[in-house]
Amino acid sequence: MRKRVLVVDDNANNLLLEKDLLEVAGFEVFEAKNATDGIALARKEKPDIILMDVRLPDMRGTEAARILRQDKEARNIPIIFVTASVMAEGVEEIKNIPNSGFIGKPINTRTFVKEISQFIK
């Protein structure tokens, strides 16, 4: 079974890069450009993992994560925040969300997929 990943990012370049990296490694990739679409796709496809930008046009990624954690079916999907905000405040915001992690921007194309895989296992 191919691993399934949902990528939520409003920046087209980031989205494309992450998608390329994951697809080359053999993942099936779903994409969303805002939190609302992301939440809907997560409920529908139930991916193995969700990659979420923190700054999204309609709400903060952490807010979307809190909504998903309330969802009966999507609550156990690991959520990885891909963010440049490595300030203490940002990390605190993520820490409170169960089963989550974060990868700092700019991403390392060599190690990115490995880091994602670690979260799935």
Partner 1 sequence: MKDKPVILVVDDQPQNIELLEAYLVPQGYEIVSAASGEDALEKLTGNQIDLMLLDIIMPGIDGFEVTRRVRQNTTYRLLPIILITVLREPEARVKGIEAGCDDFITRPLDKMELFARVRSLLKVKAYNDLMSNYRKDLESEVTRRTEELRQAFIFQQCLIDALSAPVFYKDFEGRFEGCNRSFEKFFGRKRAELIGTSVYELSPKELDDLYQEKDQALLQNPGIQIFESVVKDAFGIIHNVVFHKATFNNLDGSVGGLIGVILDITDLKTAETMRKELEAQLNQAQKMEAVGRLAGGVAHDYNNMLSVIVGYSELALEEIAIEDPVHEYIHAIHDAAIRSTDITRQLLAFARKQTIAPVALDLNKTVESMLRMLSRLIGEDIDLAWRPGSELWPVKMDPSQVDQMLANLCVNARDALHGVGHVTIETGTARFDAAYCADHLGFIPGDYVLLAVSDDGCGMDRETIAKIFEPFFTTKGIGQGTGLGLSTVYGIVKQNNGFINVYSEPGKGTTFKIYLARHTDQAVEAPKVDSLSITHGHGETILIVEDEVSILELAKRILGGLGYTVLIARLPSQALHLAEEYSSEIHLLITDVVMPEMNGKELSNRLRTVCPTLRTLFMSGYTANVIAHRGVLDQGVQFMQKPFSKESMAQKVREALES
Applying CB under 8 A, the residues found at the interface with partner 1 are 2-3, 11, 13-14, 16-17, 20-21, 24-27, 106-107, 109-111, 113-114, 117-118, 121
Measured from the CB atom, is 72 or 121 closer to partner 1?
A: 121
Measured from the CB atom, is 96 or 99 closer to partner 1?
A: 99
29 phi and psi, to 5 degrees?
-115, 130
Residue 66 near residue 93 (C-beta atoms within 8 A) = no
Please, what is the minimum distance in Å from the beta carbon of residue 40 to partner 1? 25
Measured from the CB atom, is 30 or 39 closer to partner 1?
A: 30
Paired with 53 in beta bridges are 82
What is the C-alpha separation between 57 and 40, in angstroms, rounded?
16
